[in-house]
């Protein structure tokens, strides 16, 4: 089979001035994409601003013969999101691929967490995905083509001590992706989400060194490049990726149980007496919409007829 190429494609990678995003940008460019390297150049906690982060990556790409421009806007504002996509349009005429990657952390247990810790995390990760995706989507819909990748976290999917703000924001991206998948299905726009673990300044203090050595950021990018390619026709999926391990993860619904016939009362004791069936994950299914979940009580509708 032919190699995956991005000739003629325009990619935007947010937070591409460091860490995982930098490698996404470089590898997309190596395979022919023209790339907008967006980065506000903040510290890991979101403080300060520095243009050199994005500039350095653009230079790296140009030095190896690739095509890239820098953008220094914050993903946290609507204007920032508009400007990021506008720089793709102004420089390269369009946008085909969007990798929502920019991120910061402000870790504290919930009782010590300030409103500012909460708001800033939500605004970079969750609002920051909205602000950039919205203007990109307009263009992708018009051209009937697009590949969008969101970056969630195992902290959201499975939990991590001290990251309530971050986990809440990252889980918000899953809801955003599920709805966007439904809203874009007829436009050949494929939205997917990755949950990476990689050595970067964000994790160097959090993960023990032997494990950190395994978590090469270079192992995240191949999945992103596949999801960003024309060959990928899957959407609405979430993937774990770290240390060369790749797997799908999903929100699932167990077969559960129906109590009663939809007419009588249901008591807390009925819940207690059926707890085993309610709380076990038997025959889990991935549902593609809330409408699909109503199927579980369709036997009651048949009784009604
Ligand atoms: P990093 O700190 O190395 O890079 C993040 C980049 O985003 C920085 O260059 C920063 O300046 C930029 N950025 C931050 N706020 C921005 C804003 N408002 N506008 C534009 N750019 C902004 O972090 P890393 O590890 O590369 O993380 C990349 C993404 O992957 C983040 O979304 C992070 O939450 C996520 N992630 C990383 C994990 C890991 O193990 N490294 C684990 C799970 C998720």
Structure confidence by residue, pLDDT tens digits, 113-161: 999 999 999 999 999 999 999 999 999 999 999 999 999 999 999 999 9
> How remote is the CA of residue 19 from the centroid of ligand 1, in Å?
7
Residues forming CATH 3.40.50.720 domain(s) in the chain:
10-249
Mean pLDDT of 60-85: 98
So what's the pLDDT on residue 302? Answer: 74
- The owner of tokens 């920032």 is 80
* pLDDT, averaged across the chain: 97
Strands 238-242 and 245-249: antiparallel
Fold classification of 10-249 (topology level): Rossmann fold (3.40.50)
The set of protein residues with a Cβ atom below 6 angstroms from ligand 1 is 14-15, 17-21, 38-42, 44, 46, 53, 74-76, 101-104, 124, 128, 151, 153, 196-198, 200-203
Residue identifier of the C-alpha nearest atom 31 of ligand 1: 103
105, 163 contact by CB (below 8 A): yes
pTM of the model: 0.97
> How remote is the CA of residue 15 from the centroid of ligand 1, in Å?
6
CA proximity to 221, closest of 249, 204, 247, 244: 244
Residue identifier of the C-alpha nearest atom 17 of ligand 1: 74
Mean pLDDT of 154-175: 98
Which residues are catalytically annotated? 166
So what's the pLDDT on residue 240? Answer: 98
> How remote is the CA of residue 187 from the centroid of ligand 1, in Å?
29
């Amino acid at each position: 089979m032919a190699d995956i190429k991005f000739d003629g494609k325009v990619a935007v990678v947010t937070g591409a001035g460091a860490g995982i995003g930098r490698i996404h940008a470089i590898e997309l460019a190596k395979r022919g994409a023209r790339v907008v390297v967006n980065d506000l150049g903040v510290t890991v906690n979101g403080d300060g601003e520095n243009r050199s982060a994005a500039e350095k990556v653009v230079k790296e790409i140009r030095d190896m013969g690739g095509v890239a421009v820098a953008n220094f806007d914050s993903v946290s504002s609507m204007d920032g999101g508009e400007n990021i996509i506008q720089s793709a349009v102004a420089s390269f005429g369009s946008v085909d691929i969007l990798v929502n990657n920019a991120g910061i952390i402000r870790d504290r247990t919930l009782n010590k967490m300030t409103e500012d810790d909460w708001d800033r995390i939500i605004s970079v990760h969750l609002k920051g995905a909205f602000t950039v995706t919205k203007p990109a989507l307009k263009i992708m819909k018009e051209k009937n083509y697009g590949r969008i990748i969101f970056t969630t976290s195992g902290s959201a999917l499975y939990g991590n001590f001290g990251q309530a703000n971050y986990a809440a924001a990252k889980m918000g991206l899953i809801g955003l992706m599920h709805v966007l998948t439904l809203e874009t299905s007829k436009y050949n726009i494929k939205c997917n989400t990755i949950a990476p673990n990689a050595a970067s300044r964000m994790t160097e203090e959090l993960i023990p060194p032997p494990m950190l050595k395994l978590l090469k950021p270079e192992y995240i990018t191949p999945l992103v490049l596949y999801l960003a390619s024309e060959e990928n026709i899957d959407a609405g999926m979430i993937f774990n990726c770290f240390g060369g391990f790749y797997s799908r993860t999903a929100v699932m619904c167990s077969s559960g149980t129906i109590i009663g016939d939809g007419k009588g009362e249901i008591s807390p004791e009925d819940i207690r007496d059926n707890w085993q069936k309610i709380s076990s994950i038997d025959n889990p299914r991935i549902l593609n919409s809330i409408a699909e979940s109503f199927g579980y009580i369709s036997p009651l509708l048949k009784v009604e007829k």
